Chain A
């Protein structure tokens, strides 16, 4: 049904989004927990920082990442000192950029879910002798499950839909950085509208199904985060 080039791009995009989603769930959990429970004054500043990718144009993020991760940039100097080389034009580079770019879409739903857990449950468990880790694993996590589902789906979908950042740091290498959105862009630029049509239709179907799942899991919360 698909050409080899399209299939390669689809598989690469799925691989990228899956890895990013798993890493994002791991990274976002402690951040969301801290943001939900802390009374620290720095909280609003951290919240604002986490939410930045929502409002920044992808071209800005992509350009800064390209410069920062380049051989002369601070991140690039660090990765070179660690013997990892530089990140632009690599799959790892895309993973790191996507984590940064999709972070708020995972942190916010989980934070909201944590905030909705009443202190009373946690206090009751504490009086019964449950350790903080115990309380987190057996009470907070299960109660916040819908938040994790929402965050996971949004993080996955947002990474699939990523374009500007990948375009800036990817270098358009087949099977390494040429994801579906970049492939579609190439087709349009090359006036191959039939091919663009086919891949775009898949993206539309994917987006619809994703959002459908999201609303099925959260029938009462129509607002995303």
Chain B
């Protein structure tokens, strides 16, 4: 064999071996779960030697892409409806659907002392011009915000002040840039290590909105992908529970 041939043969075996040992999981992650998933994926890779490729977008976009043949193995949605619809369309593996996280809502302002951590009274004042929330038609967090406003009987008063982000990330962006003085955002966006990372906020009591359940599902393409199944199991582990709780989610 020439040197080149030897080299190529070695290279071929190298690839062959790495293919056997580690598998790659392509994961479609709902935008609101970006930060915890990066941490979870890093821990998963370290423990199992598998590789993950993470894509972040809104669940609606992923749904359309998966329906049209996107190459994802696992889908972490921001709601329960889309994984269910994929299962009904035969695009996911049956009996793999489960709730990997429950989201929490917070009324938040980037200004310190603007929102009383014990009450929603600021909503009844005229100290704010715009109230930012995610589009309730598209995002479960937006729907939860509307439910909360209705249950507090202030919806009519603030309706004219509402501005909507396409998703919870944009709702946060409007407030974080001070364009809206107040906003309903995901607790996970403003919480780090169990504390508010900046500003002031009122964590909305759970009885004011329906649970924001986020479901995961194994997609048809990954029916025989052991690494993808391992990742789904990993999402149910205590270690992951601790990570997602530190970001303001619960199981």
Q: For chain A residues 177-204, which have a beta carbon within 8 Å of chain B? A: 185-186, 188-191
Number of A-B pairs whose CB atoms are under 8 Å?
Answer: 61
| Binary contact readout B105-145 vs A (1 if CB under 8 angstroms, 0 otherwise) | 00000000000000000000000011010010110000000
Q: Which of B60, B129, B163, B164 contacts A191 (CB 8 A)?
A: B60
Question: Are A70 and B179 neighbours in the complex by a CB distance under 8 Å?
Answer: yes
Residues of B near A168 (CB, < 8 A) are 170
Q: Which of B64, B82, B135, B180 contacts A186 (CB 8 A)?
A: B135
What residue of chain B has the Cβ atom nearest to residue A189's Cβ?
B60
Residues of B near A185 (CB, < 8 A) are 166
Question: Are A191 and B85 neighbours in the complex by a CB distance under 8 Å?
Answer: yes
Interface of A is mostly: loop
Q: Does B18 have its Cβ within 8 Å of any Cβ on chain A?
A: no
| Binary contact readout A61-86 vs B (1 if CB under 8 angstroms, 0 otherwise) | 00000110111100000000000011
Question: Are A66 and B173 neighbours in the complex by a CB distance under 8 Å?
Answer: yes
Q: Does A88 have its Cβ within 8 Å of any Cβ on chain B?
A: yes
Give chain A's interface residue range (CB within 8 Å of chain B): 20 to 34
Q: Does A89 have its Cβ within 8 Å of any Cβ on chain B?
A: yes
Question: Are B177 and A172 neighbours in the complex by a CB distance under 8 Å?
Answer: no
Q: For chain B residues 7-28, which have a beta carbon within 8 Å of chain A? A: none
Q: Does B58 have its Cβ within 8 Å of any Cβ on chain A?
A: yes
Query: How many Å from the CB of B128 to the closest CB on chain A?
Result: 12
Q: Does A167 have its Cβ within 8 Å of any Cβ on chain B?
A: yes
| A88, B162: Cα distance in complex, Å | 13
Question: Are B179 and A188 neighbours in the complex by a CB distance under 8 Å?
Answer: no
Residue of B60, B61, B177, B178 most packed against chain A (CB within 10 A): B177
Leading 4 A-B pairs by shortest Cβ distance: A171-B163, A189-B60, A172-B164, A70-B179
